Structure 1
Amino acid sequence: MFALDPQLQQDTLVMGDFPLCRLLLSNDSNYPWFILVPRRESISELFQLDDADQRQLWKETTVLAETLKDSFNADKLNVATLGNVVSQLHMHVIVRKRDDAAWPAPVWGKHPARPYTTEQVTVIRDRLRAALTDDFKFLED
């Protein structure tokens, strides 16, 4: 049974579900920072997903990245699976702008996280609602 890593639960806000992945928003308003987590048990590496799930993860990552590029007017997107702190497989999709708090350096550990306000989260949900297809189901926290 799928369970979200406790660190991800603590550091993120749940946005909803794609067919494979739970979509999370990192609770750091310095950057629009999204995380896709395949709803599969005991997976820490991309190659541990079967071929169909690997293709689905890439499809969901691409849909999300395209949506974020347009919806947030990104200068660059950072897309990566790292897992050095959280071993559960997860894909980071981070909107980067030339004027963001860390540009051009990586976002990790650069600045203290600034939690989102309720109003900011509502704006982000509305942007996603306007752009994501019926394959995505919004979940409320």
Structure 2
Amino acid sequence: MLPGTPPGFSLDPRIEGDSRPVMWLGLCELRVQDDSRWPWLVLVPQRPGITEMHDLTPLDQAMLTFEIAMVAKGLKAATGCHKINIAALGNVVPQLHVHIVARNEGDTGWPGPVFGLGPREPWEAAALSGFAEKLKAAL
């Protein structure tokens, strides 16, 4: 978790274990999923006890929508991908979080979903750092 976490908020240990922090946006912490097969980001609204988008205040809902669009646009610019996938499933980890994945025709599992598709391939530290910097520049 990045510094500045609001009182009462804690990041689900599964999200913390499966992703790496990139930056603080406003409402959300932006994280990179630790699976180098796809440029895969996770936005986590920093609000305690929230499991669904409709649990957020109307202002936070608007902010989340804005941050999703901003990150999706930045990810597309940083990767030159063919398609952006956005999902907030929460079936395994109920804490509200939004996946934003850059996809290309012919990538692993195309055109199916990335969830649960084979063993993950963790990022090498230098590659993750380079990807995070490129993403920050695009944002």
CA distances 1:16-57 after superposition (whole Å, capped 9, x unpaired): 111000111100001111000000000000000000000000
Matches of 1:75 and 1:119, distance apart in 2: 25
CA RMSD of aligned residues (A): 0.8
Q: How many residues align?
A: 132
Whose RCO is larger (CA < 8 A, sep 6+)? 1
Matches of 1:43 and 1:115, distance apart in 2: 28
Matches of 2:28 and 2:47, distance apart in 1: 9
TM-score normalised by structure 2 residue count: 0.92
Report the more deviating stretch, 115-124 or 40-49.
115-124
Aligned AA (2:63)? Q
- In structure 1, stretches of 5+ residues that fail to align are 133-141
Q: Quick check: 1:76 aligned with 2:83?
A: yes
Q: SS of 2:60's equivalent?
A: helix
Match of 1:51 in 2: 58
Residues 102 and 111, structure 1, Cα contact 8 Å, conserved in 2: no
Q: Quick check: 1:21 aligned with 2:28?
A: yes
Matches of 2:112 and 2:138, distance apart in 1: 29
Identity %: 39
Q: SS of 1:61's equivalent?
A: helix
Matches of 2:9 and 2:123, distance apart in 1: 26
TM-score normalised by structure 1 residue count: 0.91
Matches of 1:123 and 1:62, distance apart in 2: 22
